[in-house]
Amino acid sequence: MQKKIKLAVLISGTGRTLKNMIDRTKAGTLDAEIKLVVSSSSSASGLQYAEEAVIPIEILERPAFKSQGEFSTAIFDACRKAEVDYIAMAGYIKFLDIPDDFTNRVLNIHPALVPAFCGKGYYGDHVHAKVLEYGAKISGCSVHFVDQKYDNGPVILQKAVEVFETDTVASLNDRVFKAECEAYPEAIQLIAEERISVVGRIVKITPLTEPRVVEF
Ligand code: GRF
């Protein structure tokens, strides 16, 4: 049986990404177990999905901590206590200091094709508005490991979508989010299957081994 990876999911808002992960784990199409949900806000509506799925919740709000460092430490301590293998940021909008033991173990999804339309200030609808304003013909999403710069870590996978002249921020957001709902579980599944290795900033994906040819 495929080993399940133990995940903590970090949210700040509506939790659609979290819901997608919960649905996929329940359907048996994602070999992950969500051990903990951490929210940066007690009013994040996405917390309802954690409650419904009976997943332990930690609410850690930035103003409760004196510094960025103490805030980050509290989050990673909660994740260590929950004994998770990986952390998935899912609409999480706070910047974290990544400790050494979590290098290449924190994932994020960005709603554009990095290194375009990313970095500080590029989140949510702002990203899609910038894509439309620029006149880009393609956008998409990028699943990447998180390092100490915004949207900068090694890219695990990307999915492209077309941008149409008739697009609005909302319609582009919908199309990109559909791609995100495929890309994020796919990336986590690759990790669960131990098919990912990171060399410098390059993520290598081991192809599935060919089925053995049986001769009669
Ligand atoms: C999406 O734009 C995703 O790319 C970004 O957060 C948004 C989803 O947030 N990381 P949520 O899951 O609906 O809270």
Looking up tokens 């990109």 gives 176
Whether the CB-CB separation of 50 and 19 falls below 8 Å is answered with no
pTM of structure? 0.94
CATH no. of 108-216: 3.40.50.170
Which H helix or E strand runs over 17?
helix 16-27
Q: Which two tokens stand for residue 68?
A: 């960025």
Tell which one of 10, 17, 45, 118 to mutate to probe ligand 1, the residue whose CB is within 8 A of the most ligand atoms: 17
- Counting as low any pLDDT under 70, the low residues of the chain are 1, 210-216
User: Taking CB atoms and a 6 Å cutoff, what residues make up the pocket around ligand 1?
Assistant: 11, 13-17, 46, 90-91, 109-111, 124, 180
pLDDT for position 208: 82
State in words which class domain 1-102 has: alpha beta
pLDDT of residue 216: 64
Give pLDDT, residue 3.
Answer: 85
Instruction: Report pLDDT for 212.
Output: 64
Q: What residue segments make up the domains of the chain, in order of their start? A: 1-102, 108-216
Give the Cα separation of 148 and 150 in Å (integer). Answer: 7
